[in-house]
Structure 1
Amino acid sequence: MRFSSRPARQLVLAASLLSFASLTACNKGGGEFAKTKSGIEYKIFKKVGNDYERREIGPDGDPTYKDRVGKFLLGNMQYRTGKDSVLQNTRRDVGMAVPLPLKELQQKGMPDEALSLLQPGDSGVFRFQVDSLIKPKAGQPAPPYLKRGGNVVLMFVATTNKLITEKEAQEMQPELQKRAMAAQMKQRLASPEYAKQMQAQKEAQAKMMAAPEVVAQMKKDDAVLQDYAKKNNLTVQKTPSGIYYQVLKPGEGPKPNAGQTVSVNYNGTLLSGKVFDSSDKAGKPIDFPIGQGAVIPGWDEGIALLNKGSRAILLIPSPLAYGTRGAGADIPANSPLRFEVELVGIQ
């Protein structure tokens, strides 16, 4: 679904001081919708003590909005169809409020205008006709599921009492993005498609590792890695898959589970000692979801062995690294690799 307003597309994070249950109750029992000149139907409530009172808006909108333009209102947002199917619910995704941009109105009748009607501490329900809110591609109607949902979209907004600056909103973005990624991964892990995907990935990996040429390469690499560990006085353990590892500094935190995003500092070298990559180049740890095939198999397995805070050496045979293809000019084909890693974070 494509919303024509930036807030409707991008506001995917929030929590609030007011639950959507209360706001929904206000929607059902708060009388008829009022209507702006541009066609937005609305109910706006302000909290008075433990109750909510309806607040009406003049025909020309909220005259105080000009004082809020350029700032951000912290709030919680939800979109539903006319038949109450949830399209988007920021409250279920994170536990903090999201900055809602308050901008000069370029187009009336859109979510931007709806936000302009809200003062800090207000809550509102806004009803849009699907055809006015969606920008369909040329010759294509609005999505059928929205038509079936009553041909309207309801936007629920529950705000806090706080306005913030653009700088403060930008400072919130890393945390908001991190929480959004975690929520997306949680939803993915819960889906039946994910279980099928992971099973197919395991079967493909097992089939690849059972190939005669791979078995031969693993045997060759194993001898090389054992010799390397002995010459370098490493006290390593071996996993069933063939990875050797030594914990240099035990961590005290938990071990990561499949689907969690981890942050890792690392230094990668060939067994000759030549460095081919390092997190120092980026000046920060690398982040990736573990167990999702986002990194080489040796990392997916090796990092999962560590507690948060651990530093370790991983010796990875080539079939669990870059295999016969290598990686550019830095990593030749069939190269066993050494990594020094530090698991600095688990989201």
Structure 2
Amino acid sequence: MLTKTQLLLPVLAGALMLQSCGKKDEFHTSEGLTYKIYEKNDKGAYENKGEVAPSDSTGAKVGQVVTMQMMYKNADDSVLFDSRTQKTPLMIPVMEPSFKGGLENALMMLSPGDSGVFKISADSLFAKTFGGQPMPPFIKPGSQMTFFIKVDTVQSQEEAMASQQKMMQQQMLDAQAHAKEQLKIDDAKIQDYIKANNLENVQKTESGVYYVITDPGTGPDATAGDKVTVHYKLSFLDGKEVESSYKGGEPYTFTLGQGQVIPGWDEALQKLNKGSKAILLVPSTLAYGEQDRGPQMPGNSILRFDVEMVDVQK
């Protein structure tokens, strides 16, 4: 069941730039809401729909779920969120309006295929819809926030849940396909790196992590479920160092094989024993994937770890 919490989070997170091919492109005001609504004409171009009568019941209704692209801006015309940067559209349940002229009213004006621009009071939005949360400094008291919405579908909650499940399944398949292709790219780069740096006695795990044991240990082997303590230095293939536990003075302790670290570590560290040192060359698909993790870690980063298995507790 979709809840109001699921409505509130994406509301402060979405919108889409809209275009109009109609001659009249003016805002209208109804029930405290300032708006423009566009619908496609017979030629496939968007035209301003004009005023929407209070009695108009063609839009989404309370209890239904609207799947859409959405963006919103502050009074300085700065984009605060754009759902097009995500890989999935927003799915928002239509609730009873929390105040006159709120976003819920906007959704009830829209039908599948419609686009709209809505100006909503920032004060009312935070006081009524967001439970009195304080406004951030980039939203001015007394100002209006502008929402841009493009509706894809309007469905019952049951239909929306089924669509969401289907969409998630497709995303999973797409992600698996991408990872398979990316692994081939990463593997070729790692092999080039191995040759360029004259690394010897290189081995490869089943999933695709290359490793070189530079100093065999004498202690027990590390296996899944063991509590291990590891010193490490992380760098990119170009030699740029990202971080090092040696500099901080404290090695990292965790339970191996429990998903507490990147998959490449969980697999490759099981090839080591207490006291051993090794080089791990981890493909991006077994590290942090295609998503950027801040300026220090771009997406699809292949990682080199120089590691030391300090301790293994069975």
Relative to the length of structure 2, the TM-score reads 0.51
CA shift in 2, pair 1:29/1:64, >3 Å: closer
Question: Over residues 188-225 of structure 1, what are the superposed CA-to-partner deviations in whole Å (9 max), with x where a residue is unaligned?
Answer: xxxxxxx9xxx998244444368xxx9xxxxxxxxxxx
CA shift in 2, pair 1:158/1:201, >3 Å: same
- Asked if 1:117 is matched to 2:109, the reply is yes
Equivalent in the alignment of 1:335: 312
What is the SS of the residue equivalent to 2:66? Answer: strand
CA shift in 2, pair 1:163/1:258, >3 Å: same
Equivalent in the alignment of 1:86: 79
What is the SS of the residue equivalent to 2:106? Answer: helix
Equivalent in the alignment of 2:69: 76
CA contact (8 A) 2:22 2:46 kept: no
CA contact (8 A) 1:11 1:98 kept: no
- Asked if 1:51 is matched to 2:45, the reply is yes
- Asked if 1:242 is matched to 2:280, the reply is no
Equivalent in the alignment of 1:100: 92
Aligned mate of 2:155, from 146, 159, 164: 164
CA shift in 2, pair 1:26/1:206, >3 Å: same
CA contact (8 A) 2:14 2:71 kept: no
CA shift in 2, pair 1:103/1:260, >3 Å: same
Equivalent in the alignment of 2:58: 64
**Shift, 1:79, TM fit:** 0.7
What is the SS of the residue equivalent to 2:139? Answer: helix
CA contact (8 A) 1:5 1:110 kept: no
Question: Over residues 261-295 of structure 1, what are the superposed CA-to-partner deviations in whole Å (9 max), with x where a residue is unaligned?
Answer: 89xxxxxxxxxxxxxxxxxxxxxxxxxx9xx9xxx
Q: Percent identity?
A: 27
Letter matched to residue 335 of structure 1 = V
Q: How does 1:6-45 map to 2 (within 5 A)?
A: 7-11=7-11, 20-21=16-17, 23=18, 25-26=19-20, 31-37=25-31, 39-45=32-38
Higher helix share: 1
Relative to the length of structure 1, the TM-score reads 0.47
CA shift in 2, pair 1:241/1:117, >3 Å: farther
CA RMSD, Structure 1 to Structure 2 (Å): 5.0
Letter matched to residue 36 of structure 1 = S
Equivalent in the alignment of 1:298: none
Q: Distance in 2 between matches of 1:138 and 1:164?
A: 27
Unaligned runs of at least 5 residues, structure 2: 176-234, 253-269, 297-301
Q: Distance in 1 between matches of 2:12 and 2:134?
A: 25
What is the SS of the residue equivalent to 2:312? Answer: coil
Equivalent in the alignment of 1:155: 147
**Shift, 1:78, TM fit:** 0.5
Equivalent in the alignment of 2:207: none
Letter matched to residue 259 of structure 1 = Y
Letter matched to residue 89 of structure 1 = D
Q: How does 1:193-204 map to 2 (within 5 A)?
A: 202-204=243-245
**Shift, 1:93, TM fit:** 1.6
Letter matched to residue 242 of structure 1 = K
Letter matched to residue 35 of structure 1 = T
Question: Over residues 286-340 of structure 1, what are the superposed CA-to-partner deviations in whole Å (9 max), with x where a residue is unaligned?
Answer: xxx9xx9xxxxxxxxxx979xxxxxxxxx993x4xxxxxxxxxxxxxx5346xxx
What is the SS of the residue equivalent to 2:111? Answer: coil
Q: Distance in 2 between matches of 1:140 and 1:7?
A: 16
CA contact (8 A) 1:43 1:54 kept: yes
Equivalent in the alignment of 1:129: 121
Aligned residues: 213
Unaligned runs of at least 5 residues, structure 1: 183-194, 215-234, 246-253, 263-288, 293-302, 306-314, 320-333, 338-347
CA contact (8 A) 1:45 1:54 kept: yes
